[in-house]
Amino acid sequence: MIFLLTTISEALVYTCFALLMGSYIFSLFPSDLKPKIVVSRKVKLLAVAGIAIFSFSPLLSLVTFLYEDYGLWQTLKSIVFTFEVGKSWLFLAIFSIVLGLYIFFFDKKTASVYSVIAIILIFVLIAILGLAGHASSISPVKGFITHFTHFASVVVWVGILLIVSWFSRNTENWVNFLKWFHVMALYCFAIVIITGLSLMNLSMEWSAYADSWMLSYGQSLLIKHLLIIPLIGYAFINGIVMKRKLQKEDHFDPRPWTKIEFFIILLIFVATGALSQQSPPSNLAQILSSEGISPLFALFYDGTIQPSLNVQFLPKLDSILLGTVSICFFAVSILSFFKKMSPIFSFIMSVLVVISAYLALLFSVQVV
């Protein structure tokens, strides 16, 4: 229960950051380069509160483990003031209050400098969050810089997508919006991929990627990577195809399709939240000995668990067929846009892309 609560809370933290970042980035652009965007001060303040509240979730496992022996108040005081993760959360909560006060008093100001200051405060919060991450504990300087760059790029890109999907009042100037957002999204996506691979390399050797699938950490990482496949498809639709579509049909509403892209990103946030709750496979044999294999991986392997286990690929007919089915689902999810089918149908096809690709990979592995 705690694991599920923490995973969802982590995803909500990422969403709150994205909402705040996207709303202030939009305010920097003139009205002819964006649709009409309205994000109320109340929504922004709720997002700030969400950062402070939901970021506390990783501490819940410590609280539930210690409070029976020391009492709830003593446990909370000890965790917040003596544990590094607790101190990081305390700083995050304090700066969240600072950002909340700034929004409360200055949100109605229209000068660009006020939005720039808000963005700087959000970056400070991202930096504090990065100090408490896995990467910073493994490599304090390189890990922190990489995590900060990775997460900042994510919230800039996803934040703009979130705001235009859910807070746009019309579709005017959408083509003009796509001209600058498409370029920004490409740069952010490239940075996210590069820094993401670097973060992955901090936790494991490249050669151990398939071996990590035996662990819950590796399972979450694999699902996260597979979700990128439909994400690329929707980026193609919403970034390239949509521009041509709107030039021919200016009455077409692109927002349902950007919402579907955001839902895929939300699933990636959930996978990332699950990832952050697992032990990174820096020492695969030791984690296998202490924690055993992942329950998901156990569905495909029922042999003896040994620390020296390795995963090898051995494609079989069923895995090849599943891979082919995954490609077909992906093609259908893209073609559904051209056939003017429901975005929900396309989303279902995208989920099936991930499921069939996952099964294709897991049915191809052999543990030796």
DSSP 145-207: HHHHHHHHHHHHHHHHHHHHHHSBS--TTHHHHHHHHHHHHHHHHHHHHHHHHHHHHHHS-GG
Claim to verify: residue 180 and residue 222 sit in the same structural domain = no
| Average pLDDT, integer, range 217-242 | 94
Tell me what pLDDT residue 210 has: 86
Which is higher by pLDDT, 221 or 293? Answer: 221
Tell me what pLDDT residue 305 has: 67
pLDDT at 269 over 90: yes
Claim to verify: residue 153 and residue 129 sit in the same structural domain = yes
Which is higher by pLDDT, 161 or 288? Answer: 161
CA-based nearest residue to 108, from 41, 163, 48 = 41
| Average pLDDT, integer, range 219-230 | 95
CA-based nearest residue to 86, from 105, 58, 114 = 58
pLDDT at 124 over 90: yes
Cα 324 off chain centre by = 27
Tell me what pLDDT residue 328 has: 97
CA distance 353 to 332: 10
pLDDT at 206 over 90: no
| Average pLDDT, integer, range 348-357 | 97
CB 16 within 8 A of CB 48: yes
Of the residues 201, 217, 251, which one is the last residue of a structural domain? Answer: 201
| Average pLDDT, integer, range 258-271 | 96
Claim to verify: residue 67 and residue 214 sit in the same structural domain = no
Tell me what pLDDT residue 164 has: 97
**Structural domain harbouring 325:** 204-368
Claim to verify: residue 220 and residue 359 sit in the same structural domain = yes
Length in residues, the chain: 368
Range with the poorest average pLDDT among 13-22, 78-87, 194-203:
78-87
Of the residues 174, 201, 228, which one is the last residue of a structural domain? Answer: 201
Claim to verify: residue 161 and residue 234 sit in the same structural domain = no
CA-based nearest residue to 320, from 367, 365, 366, 364 = 364
Tell me what pLDDT residue 315 has: 84
| Average pLDDT, integer, range 9-21 | 96
pLDDT at 70 over 90: no
Percent of the chain scored above 70 by pLDDT?
97
Q: Name the pLDDT band for 140 (thresholds 50, 70, 90).
A: confident
Looking at the 3D structure of the chain, how many domains does it have?
Answer: 2
Of the residues 169, 201, 233, which one is the last residue of a structural domain? Answer: 201
CA-based nearest residue to 257, from 282, 239, 275, 274 = 239
Tell me what pLDDT residue 18 has: 97
Structure tokens at 70: 């020391």
Tell me what pLDDT residue 19 has: 98
Claim to verify: residue 173 and residue 237 sit in the same structural domain = no
Q: What are the phi and psi torsion angles at 222 (to 5°)?
A: -65, -45
User: C-alpha distances in angstroms, 288 versus 138, 202, 218, 243, 253?
Assistant: 20, 19, 12, 49, 50
Claim to verify: residue 62 and residue 169 sit in the same structural domain = yes
| Average pLDDT, integer, range 269-296 | 82
Claim to verify: residue 210 and residue 157 sit in the same structural domain = no
| Average pLDDT, integer, range 45-64 | 89
Q: Kindly report the number of other CB atoms within 10 A of residue 207's CB atom.
A: 8
Claim to verify: residue 39 and residue 176 sit in the same structural domain = yes
Claim to verify: residue 157 and residue 13 sit in the same structural domain = yes
pLDDT at 267 over 70: yes
Claim to verify: residue 136 and residue 237 sit in the same structural domain = no
Average pLDDT, the chain: 90
| Average pLDDT, integer, range 148-175 | 95
Dihedral Cα 135, 12, 230, 33, nearest 10 deg: -100
Which is higher by pLDDT, 59 or 152? Answer: 152
Percent of the chain scored above 90 by pLDDT?
62
pLDDT at 223 over 90: yes
Tell me what pLDDT residue 84 has: 76
CA distance 362 to 214: 10
Claim to verify: residue 170 and residue 215 sit in the same structural domain = no
Tell me what pLDDT residue 308 has: 67
Tell me what pLDDT residue 212 has: 87
Tell me what pLDDT residue 113 has: 95
